[in-house]
Every structure is written in C-alpha cells, then in structure tokens.
Amino acid sequence: MHIAFVSESIAPFSSTQGAKTRAALSKGLKSLDHSVTVVSPMDASIDATRYSLARRLSKIEAEVDGQVYACEQYTGRTPGGVDVVFLREPDVSDDALQWKVFAAAAEKIVPELSVDVVHAHGALGAGFVSSTALTAVLTVDTVEAAGEGALTKARAVTATSRTVAQELSRASEDVSVSGILNGVDGSRWNTLTDAYLPYRFDPMDLGGKRKCKRSLQRGSGLPVRSDIPLFVATCASGAGLGLVASAMGALLRNDVQVAVATDLASEHGAALTELASRFSDRLVVLPYGEELVHHLYGAADLLIVQNGAGAEALMCAHRYGALPISSTGYDVAVDCDAKLSSGTAFLYGDGELLGALQRGAASFLKHDAFDALQRRVMLIDHSWDRSARLYERIYLKAISA
C-alpha cells in the first residue's frame, strides 16, 4: 500500500512533537512493508542543502480565490527512508491564505504520487480533506482542529486519544471516530540500547536501573541511598514547573530525593535552585539536556509529569520503569490501588498533587510490590508497531468502503 501523509511538518526537518510523531508513524508503516510519502509546507527554517533536498525545475500552480500562486517543490528523504515532498508557497498576506495555497498545491501533487490512501493530519490536513476527492483518512489532536466539512468528507476519522475521539463523536453524530494512541520511538527510548544510559536494564533484570540511580546520585551530589525514593521532573523551558515548585517544599519534608532538569534561568528554575540550596541532600536542579533527561528516566523511581506534557511522557516513564505521577492518565495509564496489584500510575485531581507524591513515596517503601509494579509497567506495549497496525486496518477499511 502507498500512503501519502499531508501534514504541516515532519522530523527531522522540524523538532515539534507532532513532527516526531509523524516520522515515527511513517517509519512504523514502512516496517509493515508499506510505502509512505510525506507532503508538507517548506518552512523557511528548513535548509535544503543540509538535508540534500532537490528543487524541481517546474513549479506547481495553485489557484485560490481566482488568483494563481506558483509554488516551488523540493524532494528528499528522511533518515528512516520516507520520501518527502515540500511545497514552498510564495509570500502571502496571512497564515490562513498560506494554508489554502498549500492545500491547493497538494491537491495537484498527491494524485501524481499514485497513492492508495491519503492520511491528513491536524488542522492543515483538515483543510486538504475538505477539498480533495481522494480517499482520505483524517487524524485530529483536538476537537477544535477539526472542521465539520473535513469530518464528513473523510473516509475515516481518527484521534490521538480516546477522549478526543469520544468528544468528536458526540459533536458530530454522523461521524465515527477511532481513538488510536501514539507510540514511543523504540530507537530513542529503549533501556537495552539507550546510549545515554550509564547502565542498561530490562524488566527481567532491574540491576542496571539501580546502578543508574546510584550514578545520578553520585554525579549530582545527592547522597547515595537506595532506601528512599528518587523523584524526577523534566521541563525544557521551566514554564510547566509551577505546580511542581509549589508542592516541592512540603514534599522535601519527607525522606525523599528529587532531581529536576530545566532551564535554570527561568522563574521556576531559579526558585527551585534556591530551594535546593536549603535542601542540598534532597533536591538537585540541573540544566536541561536530552542526555540528562534519558539518564533521569533511567534513574527515577517516580516521574512527576507536568500538566500538558502528553501521553508520551507517561509511556516513556513506563518503558524506563519510572512510575508516573500525573493529573491525567492520557488514556495510557490508570491509578494504582493501595496494594499496587493493579494500576500503572499515581493520578490526582485538582489540588491533590502533594497527596499523589506522598502516595508514590509510601508505595516505594512496599519494596517487593513496587519492584513488581516497575516490571509490570515496563512490559506494557507502547510501541509504534502496535499503533501502525491499527492505522493499517483503518486504511484498508477506508479503501474498501
């Protein structure tokens, strides 16, 4: 099957979470022996020379509201072997017109690719679906990103969470929406191959995880202790750490350790750094970086998930044996019971973060049960292979409809 993605971005040409998600899905579909071509706008930040993109001599003429726009096209390939076609629109007056021009140009390009199905993503993809006559599947992240015209015209509609799928189904009674969760890129998040981990481990042998914890404690200046829980929080900008910072003083009155990776110059980063000066044996605040984040996940007993971090944070925590503490399960986690015999996270409601942190700390002291819980969450299948196979079924059903 040949599938065309129509989306606003794709990694590695863009570093947004959505771009990484689409790159991982396309890679997963290729592993199932499907061909994928991504059609996307050529953002000004994309360096054609760096990525060996070839500019086509012929331009694509797209007509919008009676005016013709000549769009340049560039072709290339991702490191995962996925073909990409970028369309560079001429300067236009506003974003809305820019997306219309892209949709009109993509409408000309995609049929030439001889694809079996088009998978359109997000609000940009919804604009394309509204105008195309091709067999199209639409994926939306939020209810607001979906237009009624696109929903009714798509052969199938999917959402990146079951919650959004249910909301869309209620809002559009004539549309059936499937919730398909994203996966985790196993090439980046794998405890047996992660180059950023000082020690490797798996669910059968957590010895390497214990060593990762000791390595972090030694390297950061925290006392090396295996008898108390290590909490971890990561946030690149520091903007999402407000709730965490507000609960930290009370948490540090317990016999625990906390490691935070963030922008030290941010408001909350500075506040946590000041707090760490008073609780140097319990709190360390470190500059955010990808290598450190992986080490922290590998060392953590419990991961504090910031509001809005998304399902991937919980899934990565599971893969690394770190129990998430989160305000929502994002459809991938349920709250642990008191005996730790069921559940995969410590979830909390409004104003209940401290209580969840204390529940997590108390659960760690149930050593055998907590150890079994860590092994159980590591065995959950959060792979993109699972998600890709679910999309494969959607495509086949759309084609045969």
**pTM, two decimal places:** 0.81
Rounded Cα distance between 10 and 27, Å, is 11
Mean pLDDT for each consecutive 10-residue tract of the chain (401 residues)?
Answer: 94 87 91 94 90 92 89 92 91 79 91 93 86 88 63 87 81 80 88 97 96 98 97 89 91 96 93 94 96 97 88 94 93 94 95 94 96 97 91 94 76
CATH number for the region 207-378 comes to: 3.40.50.2000
* Burial of 342 from C-beta contacts in 10 A (0-12 / 13-18 / 19+): exposed
Residues across the chain: 401
Bridge partners, 22 (sequence order): none
308: left (phi over 0), alpha (psi -120 to 50) or beta: left
Angle between helices 242-251 and 353-364 in degrees, nearest 10: 50
What local confidence, expressed as pLDDT, does residue 43 receive?
87
**Sequence ranges of the chain with CATH classification 3.40.50.2000:** 2-183+383-400, 207-378
Residue whose C-alpha is closest to residue 99's, from 70, 128, 74: 128
Pull the structure tokens for residue 182: 């994203």
> Looking at residue 217, what is its pLDDT?
98
Paired with 295 in beta bridges are none
- The angle, 0 to 180 degrees and rounded to 10, between the axes of the packed helices 267-278 and 242-251 is 10
Residue type for 182, please? N
Asked if CATH classification 3.30.720.200 holds for the domain at 2-183+383-400, the reply, yes or no, is no
Helix axis angle for 384-400 and 17-31, nearest 10°, is 70
